[in-house]
């Protein structure tokens, strides 16, 4: 009898954990589906919108401050530091480089090509989303903006992105509990390398 009761409790616990994980996954999808379009709409009103045709979008479903560890003289390593669990962040920056499409493998095995996009007023915004598979329509859209480079498995190095430390990005900070509350910062400093703006997200909106 005791074994039966234990088994029933274990089943309910597993179901509860599974439900919580499903809710967490749904929450992440909701943040991505809503925070990113809000940021893009606001971004379209900034001066940066006119500077490029394609923009790379990065979602931080939980923002962390970057911490630096000293490995040796002139050698450092970054890691996740302080967490801001109430903040969702979105970074938008111009993308001048080509993405690499390996013609020897199918879409499900491509690496480095984002699966999500929004086209707005002749501009393209692209980002990775693990909940969405790469599709032919995404490739067609990337081709429309001439940012797909094709080749065999050993050609990836030809399309390695460059770096521009002086390039500005627009960084958006949202209250996770209320995405209508957000602040924007345009800067050349990478997100997470400075203190985020105070949104008072811990105060009930």
State pLDDT tens for residues 123-151. Answer: 999 999 988 999 999 999 999 999 998 98
Asked whether residue 65 is domain-assigned, the answer is yes
Cα torsion 157, 187, 57, 47: sign? negative
Asked whether residue 59 carries a pLDDT value surpassing 50, the answer given is yes
Asked whether residue 12 is domain-assigned, the answer is no
Asked whether residue 204 is domain-assigned, the answer is no
pLDDT at position 154:
82
Asked whether residue 2 is domain-assigned, the answer is no
Asked whether residue 130 is domain-assigned, the answer is yes
Q: How many domains does the chain have?
A: 1
pLDDT at position 30:
57
User: Which carries the bigger pLDDT value, residue 111 or residue 47?
Assistant: 47
Q: Supply the range of the domain harboring residue 99.
A: 27-187
Asked whether residue 56 is domain-assigned, the answer is yes
Q: Please, which pLDDT band fits residue 99 given cuts at 50, 70 and 90?
A: very high
pLDDT at position 22:
39
Residue 159, burial from CB neighbour count under 10 angstroms (0-12, 13-18, 19+): middle
Q: Please, which pLDDT band fits residue 2 given cuts at 50, 70 and 90?
A: very low
pTM of the predicted model as reported, rounded to 2 decimal places: 0.80
Asked whether residue 72 is domain-assigned, the answer is yes
Q: Please, which pLDDT band fits residue 81 given cuts at 50, 70 and 90?
A: confident
Asked whether residue 43 is domain-assigned, the answer is yes
Of 107-111, 158-162, 175-179, which gets the smallest average pLDDT?
A: 158-162
Residue 122, burial from CB neighbour count under 10 angstroms (0-12, 13-18, 19+): exposed
């Amino acid at each position: 009898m005791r074994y039966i009761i234990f088994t029933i409790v274990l089943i309910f616990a597993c179901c509860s954990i599974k439900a919580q994980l499903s809710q967490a996954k749904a929450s992440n999808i909701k943040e991505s589906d809503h925070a990113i379009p809000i940021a893009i709409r606001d971004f379209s009103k900034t001066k940066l919108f006119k500077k490029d045709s394609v923009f790379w979008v990065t979602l931080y479903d939980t923002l962390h401050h970057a911490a630096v560890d000293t490995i040796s003289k002139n050698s450092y390593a970054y890691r996740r530091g302080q967490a801001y669990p109430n903040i969702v962040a979105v970074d938008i920056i111009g993308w001048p480089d080509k993405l690499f499409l390996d013609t020897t493998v199918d879409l499900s095995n491509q690496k480095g090509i984002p699966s999500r996009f929004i086209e707005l007023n002749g501009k393209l915004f692209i980002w990775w989303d693990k909940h969405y598979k790469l599709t032919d329509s995404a490739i067609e859209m990337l081709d429309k903006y001439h940012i797909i480079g094709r080749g065999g498995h050993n050609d990836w190095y030809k399309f390695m992105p460059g770096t521009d430390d002086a390039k500005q990005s627009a960084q958006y900070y949202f209250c996770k509990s209320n995405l209508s509350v957000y602040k924007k910062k345009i800067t050349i400093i990478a997100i997470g390398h400075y203190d985020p703006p105070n949104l008072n997200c811990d105060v009930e909106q």
